[in-house]
Amino acid sequence: MLNNVGRPTRPGEVSDSVDASETFTGNKALNLETPLTFEQGVKGRIGVDLPKAKEGASRLGGLDRKEGTGLPDMSEPQVLRHYVRLSRQNYSIDAGFYPLGSCTMKHNPRINEKAARVVGLGDIHPLQPISSVQGALALIDDLAHWLKTITGMPAVAMSPAAGAHGELCGVMAIKAAHEAKGEQRTRILVPESAHGTNPATAALCGYKVDPVPAREDGRMDMEAFKAKLGPDVAGVMLTNPNTCGLFENDVKEIADLVHEAGGYFYCDGANLNAILGRTRPGDLGVDAMHINLHKTFSTPHGGGGPGSGPVVLSEALAPYAPVPYVVKKDGEYSLQEHASGEADASFGRMKAFHGQMGMFIRALAYMISHGSDGLRQIAEDAVLNANYVRASLNDVLHSPFDGICMHEALFDDSTLKDTGVTTLDLAKAMIDEGYHPMTMYFPLVVHGAMLIEPTESESKETLDMFIGSMRHLVEKAKSTNDPDVFSQAPLYAPRRRLDETGAARKPILRWQPEEAS
Ligand SMILES: *Cc1c(COP(=O)(O)O)cnc(C)c1O
């Protein structure tokens, strides 16, 4: 038997004729509701029975709390259920496919987690004597070695704590290099399709951001780029593969031209997933590039962290790298903590300690468990999977750029024209299909963009099911004369469509009891 989607009905599947929308509890079987903790709290209820604090002189110098905290009084099982219920309403890479790709999350092999918890790595402290953390320093040194090998670059700064922090490191090195030459350069060129962190970084470092338009084929417009080069240009920040999922074919010429103009080439390497083991940034003339360990080399991340963004540097920028860095002498590891000597022109320190140790361990575990052949296959499979999605949907969705893509398949919303259904509606309908929606409305250079990055770790079966869902929704959008079917999606999620603008503009950050409001 086929259900209305054309998928075989599974044993025990409830038929569409039963209205299951109303229950007394508001729960829908395994989908369990939970009120705010403030609504659940009952005065005097306790979770932990602590002995009364001893009377004695306060050591808080008069800053003692005069009233209660205002937090609800709850029992332990109440708290536990509340958070477990919330967690079950959430989506995760362990529960399903994330078409947002490595940028947000790809599969995190469990062996990495095991390695990160090994006694002696998981419980060390950055203020321990150096002699007692030789193994940890050796690990940082090993990882640095492999990052330099993979990228073909002579130096790497390990301390930046995320991709954007790595950009800051790279552009600060560029600034320091110009200052050392006594040059005052004020402009940084950034393609229009760049990730928002690129112009933000350049601006934070005091540069004027000069946007370079894209060509018809989605790459940076070389004529516009040449016209903008000049003695006041400090450098260019280019993402390769770019945010349209395309390889910038002119990358070597871009490097040569910016060097001729006396500037430096910053490459946003967050998309390393697509070229790992296939192309070395060092061979492309890159001067600085951050590598998002949490993306390419996998670490569970989200909601702002944790991340790690080591920056590989060219010969020209290496002297300006931040401290500290690991040095090995006579078989002993130590940390170079201060810029010293004439050759060392370090711009300073980016972080209190030596970097994101937990992520270093996971990244190295990921590298070692894959081996060099496996790392290369990551890029090949990531690109193959993206092209499989692109080619499989090409008859129902329009790709703005011809030809094969790298690790991301990009579509515009031209097929939805005159249907009354928008990219946002389609994304919300994907939630009903059990997927986290793809990246939408980015890159900005493509109208109603839908950017799908499957990554290397998804199987053909998973991709086929996803492609089937997309095809089903697009065909439904084109054939329906009632776009409201879409504008109301998601229908089956724990919450219906939220007022996102209202949530951003008028956030309710303080709970008010009903009687007070
Ligand atoms: C993720 C990403 C960044 C920023 O990295 P964070 O670790 O989130 O700070 C920069 N550029 C691109 C292209 C990215 O995908």
408-421 pLDDT, tens digit per residue, is 999 999 999 999 99
**Protein residue with least CA distance to atom 1, ligand 1:** 103
Q: Tens digits of per-residue pLDDT, 80-119? A: 999 999 999 989 899 999 999 887 788 999 999 999 999 9
Q: Is the pLDDT of residue 372 over 70?
A: yes
Residue 428's pLDDT is 96
Does the pLDDT at position 20 exceed 90? no
Sign, Cα dihedral of 343, 349, 354, 360: negative
Which tokens go with 43? 């005065």
309 ligand 1 Cβ < 6 A: yes
Mean pLDDT score across all residues of the chain: 91
| 49 or 308: which leads in pLDDT | 308
Name which residue sits closest to atom 4 of ligand 1, judged by CA: 163
CB 192 within 8 A of CB 211: yes
3-class SS at 305?
Answer: strand
Ligand 1, atom 5, residue with closest C-alpha? 163
**Domain 371-505 grouped into CATH 3.90.1150.10:** yes
Q: pLDDT at position 224, please?
A: 98
Q: What span, in angstroms and rounded, lies between the C-alpha atoms of 219 and 217?
A: 6
pLDDT at 514: 61
pLDDT higher than threshold 50 for residue 153: yes
The distance of Cα 291 from the centroid of its chain, to the nearest Å, equals 12
Question: According to the 3-state scheme, what is the secondary structure of 188-199?
Answer: EEEECCCCCHHH
Domain 111-367: state its class.
alpha beta
Beta bridge partners of 265: 236
For a mutational test of ligand 1's pocket, the pick from 268, 291, 294, i.e. the residue with the most ligand atoms closer than 8 A to its C-beta, is 268
% of the chain residues with pLDDT over 70: 93
Mean pLDDT score, 254-265: 98
Q: Kindly report the pTM of this predicted structure.
A: 0.90
Pocket flag, ligand 1, residue 162 (CB < 6 Å): yes
Range with lowest mean pLDDT among 66-75, 169-178, 220-229, 286-295: 66-75
What's the pLDDT score for residue 284? 96
pLDDT over 90 for what percent of the chain? 75
- Find out whether the beta carbon of 307 lies less than 6 Å from any atom of ligand 1: yes
- Alpha helices by DSSP H, listed for 289-356, are 293-296
Residue 69 confidence class, pLDDT cut points 50, 70, 90:
confident
Q: Is 453 in the pocket of ligand 1 (CB under 6 A)?
A: no
Interval 182-200: pLDDT, tens: 999 999 999 998 999 999 9
Cβ atoms of residues 165 and 309 within 8 Å: yes
Cα of 256 from ligand 1 centre, angstroms: 25
Lookup: tokens for 263: 């500037």
Tell me the residue type at 65.
R
Say which residues have a Cβ less than 8 Å from residue 403's Cβ, sequence separation at least 6.
none
| Amino acid 517: pLDDT | 42
Cα–Cα distance measured from residue 247 to residue 244, given in angstroms and rounded to the nearest whole number: 9
pLDDT for res 516? 43
Nearest atom, ligand 1, residue 167 CA: 10
Q: Is residue 500's pLDDT more than 50? A: yes
Residues of the chain with CATH 3.90.1150.10: 371-505
Q: Does residue 306 have a cis peptide bond before it, meaning omega lies within 30 degrees of 0?
A: yes
Q: 195: Cβ below 6 Å to ligand 1?
A: yes
CA of 49 from ligand 1 middle (Å) equals: 45
Mean pLDDT throughout 297-326? 91
> How far is the centre of ligand 1, averaged over its atoms, from the C-alpha of 285 (Å)?
21
Mean pLDDT calculated for residue range 276-292: 96
How many Å lie between the centroid of ligand 1 and the Cα of residue 295? 9
Give the Cβ contact number of residue 313 at 10 Å: 28
Distance 28 CA to ligand 1 centre (A): 38
- 58 alpha carbon to ligand 1 midpoint, in Å? 47
Q: For residue 425, what are the CA distances in angstroms to 23, 167, 510?
A: 27, 34, 30
Specify the residue for token string 């270093």.
360
State yes or no: pLDDT of 4 exceeds 70. Answer: no
Q: How far apart are CA 285 and CA 53, in angstroms?
A: 65
For residue 165, which atom of ligand 1 is closest to its CA? Answer: 9
Q: Does the C-beta of 175 come closer than 6 Å to ligand 1?
A: no
**For residue 251, how many other CB atoms are within 10 A of its CB?**
23
Going from the Cα of 164 to the center of ligand 1, the distance in angstroms, rounded, reads: 6
What tens digit of pLDDT does each residue of 431-455 get?
999 999 999 999 988 999 999 999 9
| Rounded mean pLDDT, 468-478 | 96
The boundaries of every CATH 3.40.640.10 domain in the chain are 111-367
Contact, 386 vs 408, CB < 8 A?
yes
**Res 456 pLDDT > 70:** yes
CA 506 to chain centre: 27
Nearest CA to ligand 1 atom 12: 270
Stretch among 42-56, 84-98, 256-270 having the lowest mean pLDDT: 42-56
